[in-house]
Structure formats: structure tokens, C-alpha cells
Amino acid sequence: MSIIYLFLLLLKFNSLSSHAAAASVFDTFVDCLTKNSIPQSEISKIVYTPNNLSFNSILQAYIRNGRFFNSSTTSKPVIIVTPTVESQVAGVVVCTKQLNLQLKIRSGGHDYEGISYISDVPFIMLDMFNLRSISIDTNGKTAWVQAGAILGEVYYNIWRKSPVLGYPAGVCPTVGVGGHVSGGGYGNMLRKFGLTVDNLLDARLVDVNGRILDRKAMGEDLFWAIKGGGGASFGVILAFQIQLVTLPQTVTYFRVERFIQDTTTTDAVVQWQNVASKIDNDLYIRLLIQPITVKSKSKGAKSSKSIRATFVALFLGDSTRLMSLISKQFPLLGLKKQDCVEMSWIDSVLQWANFDNTTKPEALLNRKGDPLTHLKRKSDYVQTPIPKKELESIFAKMISLGKAGMVFNPYGGRMGEIAEGETPFPHRAGILFKIQYSMNWHEEGLTAEKEYLSQIRDLYSFMTPYVSKNPRQAYLNYRDLDIGINDQVSQHSLEKGRVYGTKYFNKNFDRLVKVKTMVDPQNFFRNEQSIPTQTKQRKIM
Ligand SMILES: Cc1cc2nc3c(=O)[nH]c(=O)nc-3n(C[C@H](O)[C@H](O)[C@H](O)COP(=O)(O)OP(=O)(O)OC[C@H]3O[C@@H](n4cnc5c(N)ncnc54)[C@H](O)[C@@H]3O)c2cc1C
Ligand SMILES: *[C@@H]1O[C@H](CO)[C@@H](O)[C@H](O)[C@H]1NC(C)=O
Ligand SMILES: *[C@@H]1O[C@H](CO)[C@@H](O)[C@H](O)[C@H]1NC(C)=O
Ligand SMILES: *[C@@H]1O[C@H](CO)[C@@H](O)[C@H](O)[C@H]1NC(C)=O
């Protein structure tokens, strides 16, 4: 009896004191914002604690991975702030630092590991969704885009002004500009125009001292670092200015599905590896490799497992030129003229986002996107073609695993012309294609999660002989905490940072550390995989 009583008392005391603590954190934070010239009337509209009724809906609005949506094991922010003007962001940085809390920054919330809205230590979440203005200069062919805009809004607004101007970035319209661009940003025009950051002209960022800096004010080292080094290690990105690219009136799209029962399918995959990164830069052919269940045609017979190879293409030109390229260089694809659909660039954006061909461009303005599934992604880079025999063993492995898929994204073209040190993103010359390992599931709970995570890790491990080594390279925007994390509770370690840092940035890691040490020596802008500083840091907690 008395033990239970004591337990209840403790429980009550704990919840009381944590409420009191939350209240005092809130009061201190609000007080600090006021001192940093944000009027009380603005503060009351943009600062949320768990006591505010809409706290949960604000938090969940941009959780884009089902794994973290209903999770009771992931911790929530102490405070959420949703600035509506850029100057408020400066106040949030200064006051979070003063409270000695971690700051997590979220733009579109597409981080595959959820690290823009989850942490193991108490944190404030800065949510950028209100800052999403887009201004386009069609004469100068440039666009300023705030971090909270999603790619679909960017594409739509450019198309409204000119159907022959485009923005080279990712294929999923709900991805946020803030995380996407500062992590490099790639899409189906990569071979022609490079990454989004290869077309970056300027940026505005809030630094650790709460100053708003443009490219000139931040200097070329910091500007270099945010071109793929991940914004969250260096400051809060407010906006990016991009050089727009010129597109033809008509582009061509195709999607061809093949199955490995057809014995020429594996030969086509071999040929794709030799061709996709070398063919005309106007052509981008993505290849999806997925295990599928084939229903038997005869009644009562068992269904069997197979592998489907889906070739999805964007060609910046018409179907006649496309057919001539493919028949000369990639005959094993067996492409037919009727597979090729000519359309405007904006319709190709909708096709690549898996909308049906009756969908209007306004669909790109939908910020909610598809219903959530549970996601895990991993990445690899391939430098030498995988021989046919090895492909067959990979396919057999995938069939035995059951659900893990792979997406092959070709490089070459413009990517090979840009030096490794030009931006922090190092995966340039010599890369044939990038692999994205993908696992989607619907079942909630830890049992399902454990099974699916182990499947995708098993496939990743099986692929070791065929992918880049020393380091085994990975793409920052395909966030994968399996490849190494830094300390959250004690000080960040340079050596732990080097483990994931060289995978994401290769030789550029050291320069990123130098820039980091220069602009944020106390390591305020930190997360599970941020760039560590050179020198010993003050203990944070
Ligand atoms: C469905 C889907 C499709 C995708 N397709 C592509 C693709 O085609 N090409 C591609 O390259 N990538 C793609 N990605 C990956 C995507 O680029 C990254 O997840 C990207 O980081 C998402 O940016 P975000 O702003 O939406 O994410 P967030 O989760 O908001 O942020 C991601 C990271 O960036 C930091 N960050 C966000 N905003 C800021 C800011 N304003 N200042 C500083 N740091 C910030 C966050 O703290 C976090 O570390 C896809 C992801 C998903 C889920
Ligand atoms: C959250 O609740 C506090 C206390 O009731 C209130 O002052 C504030 O305006 C609320 N915030 C928002 C954004 O509604
Ligand atoms: C979260 O839980 C609700 C209520 O149980 C459920 O309807 C919803 O599908 C869940 N969402 C995800 C993404 O798992
Ligand atoms: C749209 O797709 C359907 C079937 O997928 C096809 O029959 C039709 O011709 C397509 N329409 C256009 C305009 O491409």
C-alpha cells in the first residue's frame, strides 16, 4: 500500500513539476522573444506549447513518414514556433540558444528519419511552413523561393509565368525547399543541369548570432557549405535564389515494365547500366527494381514471386529523336513509338509524381500529398556495371526477402563535369548510378518495423561487393541513421562525425568541419548527423 501511495505521489509530483518546468521554459522563451523586438501580439500567434489545442495538429501536419506519426516512443518538442516573417526566425535562434535547448528546423518534413521534428534531448521546433513566398523573374530567368515552399508550388508558379522555364529539383511535389536544396537536390533533369545547388545563385540565412545574411554577407565558404552540406549544421535557411533552366515546348515521357520471366529483361538491365549515364544528356531513364507477386493464370495454381524492372524516362525533346537514340544505343529496352508520350514539361512533372494523365497542374499545390506509409530508405553509389550473373543473384535475394526494392538513378552528363570540391556533394565523375533502397509498409508497431528494417538492411549488406567502397558513399537527402550518428546528450565528437561525414561528403568533410568551426564554434546548430566542429565544444547539457 504505502509503496503504491509513494509511487502515485511521485507520479503526481513529476507531472506537476514538468508542467511547471514547461511553463517556465515558455515564459522565459516568450520574455526573450519580446526583448528581441517581437511584439507580444505576434508571439501569441506563432508560439505553441503542448497545452495549446492545436499543438499536435501543427506537429503532425508535416510529418511525412508514417513511422513517426502516432509513435509514442518519439519525443515531442517543448515548444513549436511557426514564424510568419523572417525577422522572427532570428529571434527564435537567439532565444533557443539562450535557453540552452536544441533547435530542430523543419521545412517540408520529408526527412526519412524524421530528424527535423524528433530528438532525444529537449528541443524547440522551428517550423518554416508559413515562409513560402516564391518570386520569379522571367527576364533574368531566376527565382527566389522561401524555405517553406514545396517543390510543387515552385514548379506550378514557374509554369504559370512561362511553360519553357523549369527548376531542376526533385520529383516528389511535397518535398520542402529548405531541406531538399541544402542537401543537394536532384531530379530527372540531373544529367542535363546537375543538382539544384549547381544552379544556386544566392541564399538568405539566419546565423547563430541571429543575423540575416545573404551570399555577400555570409561569404563564399558558408555559401559553399549550404550547397549540399545540409542547412541544419550552419543556420536557418530563409530562402534560395536559383537560376532557372530553359526547356523545350515538348518533352517525351515513357514508362516501360518488364519482368524477369522474359529472359531479355536482365540483359536490358545490363545494357541500361552501360548506357544510361552516357547517352544524350537530354535523356534520363530511372530504373525501378521491385519484387512482385505474379498471380497464376490457371485456376488453383499457386502465385509466384518475380522481379519487375520498370524504366521511367523524361526526354527533353520529341519522340522521334528519342526513338532514334534508343534504337541505336539501348535496343534491348525494346521501346516502341507508342510507349512514348509527348507532353508539356509541367505534365511530365505530374506523370513522374504518379498522377494520372487527366490531372491538372493545380494538383501540385496540394501540400498534404499521398496518405502516409511507413518508410525506410538507404543509398549507395555504383561505379562499375554489375554483371548479369551477379544481377541474377541479387534478384534471387530480393525475391527471398520479399519486399525491399531498389531504384537506380543514372548520373553522368553534367554531373561528371563538375569537380568533387565544387559543392559539398561529392558524388560526381565516375558514378554510373545511385541506388535508393526502399521499403514501404502500412502495419503499425515495432514488430512489423523490426522485420522490414532488417529486410532492407539485409539487402544493403548483400550489395556490398557491387557498390562504392572506402568510403561507401551515401546521399545526405536519403537520410539514414544506420551509417553513423553523433552524440546528442554529451558533446559532439569529430571522429563520430567523420564516420557518416565521409560517406555523405567524402573529401569535402574536412572543409565542412572548417566552415562549421568558423561560423558556429559552440555547435548550436546540431543534430544526429550534423557537421561537428574541430575544437572541443562546451558541454551542452
Ligand atoms: C516522398 C519523398 C520523395 C523524395 N524525392 C526526392 C527527390 O526526388 N530528389 C531528392 O534529392 N530528394 C528526394 N527526397 C529526399 C528529400 O530531398 C529530403 O528528405 C529533404 O531533406 C527534404 O526536405 P524537407 O524540407 O521536406 O525536409 P525536413 O524534414 O523539413 O528537413 C530535412 C533536413 O533539413 C533540415 N532543414 C529543413 N529546413 C531547413 C532550413 N530552412 N534551414 C536549415 N535546415 C533545414 C532539417 O533540420 C533536416 O535536417 C524525397 C523524400 C521523400 C520523403
Ligand atoms: C498557446 O497558448 C497560450 C496560453 O494559453 C496562448 O497565449 C497562445 O496565444 C497560444 N498560441 C497560439 C499560437 O495559439
Ligand atoms: C494514426 O492513428 C490513427 C488512429 O488510430 C489511425 O487512424 C491512423 O491511420 C494512424 N496513422 C498512421 C500514419 O499510422
Ligand atoms: C491517358 O492514359 C490512358 C490510359 O492510361 C490512355 O488511354 C490515354 O490515351 C491517355 N491520354 C492522353 C491524353 O495521353
Per-residue pLDDT tens for 412-468? 999 999 999 999 999 999 999 999 999 999 999 999 999 999 999 999 999 999 999
CATH number at residue 410: 3.40.462.20
- Nearest residue (CA) to ligand 4, atom 12: 357
Backbone angles phi, psi at 62, to 5 degrees: -120, 30
Identity of the amino acid at 429: A
pLDDT value, residue 289: 98
Tell the residue nearest (CA) to atom 6 of ligand 3.
70
Q: Are residues 403 and 301 both part of a single domain?
A: yes
Which residue among 251, 357, 359, 360 has the greatest number of ligand 4 atoms within 8 angstroms of its CB, and so is best to mutate?
Answer: 357
pLDDT for residue 71: 84
Which H or E run contains 409? strand 405-410
Q: 453 and 312 share a domain?
A: yes
For residue range 203-237, what is the model confidence (pLDDT) as tens digits? Answer: 999 999 999 999 999 999 999 999 999 999 999 99
> Strand pairing of 283-294 and 304-315?
antiparallel
Burial 99-111 (b: 16+ CB within 10 A, else e): bebbbbbbbbbbb
341 lines ligand 4 (CB under 6 A): yes
Q: 70: Cβ below 6 Å to ligand 3? A: yes
Residue 287 sits in the same domain as residue 267? yes
Is 300's pLDDT higher than 80? Answer: no
396 and 330 both lie in a single domain? yes
Positions marked catalytic: 478
C-alpha cell at 43: 508571439
Nearest by Cα to 337 from 254, 454, 395, 416:
254
Q: Are residues 99 and 175 in the same domain?
A: no
65 contact partners, CB below 8 Å, separation of at least 6? 111, 112, 114, 372, 374, 375
Q: How many domains does the chain divide into?
A: 3
- Nearest-atom index, ligand 4, CA of 341: 14
Query: What pLDDT digit, counting tens, does each position of 470-497 carry?
Result: 999 999 999 999 999 999 877 899 999 9
Please write the tens of the pLDDT for every residue from 240-262: 999 999 999 999 999 999 999 99
Taking CB atoms and a 6 Å cutoff, what residues make up the pocket around ligand 2?
44-45, 47-48, 52
Which amino acid does the sequence have at 80?
I
Q: Which residues contact 206 (CB under 8 A, 6 or more apart)?
A: 86, 89, 90, 93, 212, 213, 235, 236, 238
Residue 43 bridge partners (DSSP): none
- The residue to mutate among 103, 106, 126, 366, having the most atoms of ligand 1 within 8 angstroms of its beta carbon, is 106
The per-residue pLDDT of the chain, averaged, comes to 94
Question: Stretch 361-376: mean pLDDT, rounded?
Answer: 96
Go through 330-347 and write b for each residue having 16 or more CB atoms within 10 A of its CB, e for each that does not. bebbbbeeebbebebbbb
- For 364-400, letters b (16+ CB in 10 Å) and e give beebebeebebbbbbbbbbbebbeeeebeebbeebee
Q: Is 499 inside a domain boundary?
A: no
Q: Which domain holds residue 266?
A: 251-340+372-466
Q: Who contacts 239 (Cβ-Cβ below 8 Å, separation ≥6)?
A: 131, 144, 145, 146, 147, 203, 204
Site to probe by mutation for ligand 1, drawn from 477, 520, 528 as the one with most ligand atoms within 8 Å of Cβ, is 477
Per cent of the chain over pLDDT 90 is 90
Cβ atoms of residues 116 and 68 within 8 Å: no
Dihedral angle sign, alpha carbons of residues 501, 503, 505, 507: positive
Same structural domain, 37 and 12: yes
Q: Are residues 145 and 121 in the same domain?
A: no
Closest residue by Cα to atom 6, ligand 4, is 357
Strand-by-strand arrangement of the 200-206 sheet: 134-137, 142-146, 236-243, 200-206, 212-213
Determine the pLDDT at residue 8.
40
Atom 7 (ligand 3): residue with closest C-alpha? 70
pLDDT value of position 295: 83
Of the pLDDT bands very low, low, confident and very high (cuts 50, 70, 90), residue 2 is very low
Instruction: Select from 422, 443, 466 the last residue of a domain.
Output: 466
Q: Is the CB of 69 under 6 A from ligand 3?
A: yes
Q: Is residue 357 in some structural domain? A: no
Ligand nearest to the CA of 131: 1
CATH classification of the domain holding 195: 3.30.465.10
Instruction: Pick the last residue of a domain from 127, 144, 178.
Output: 127
Q: What is the value of pTM for the model shown?
A: 0.95
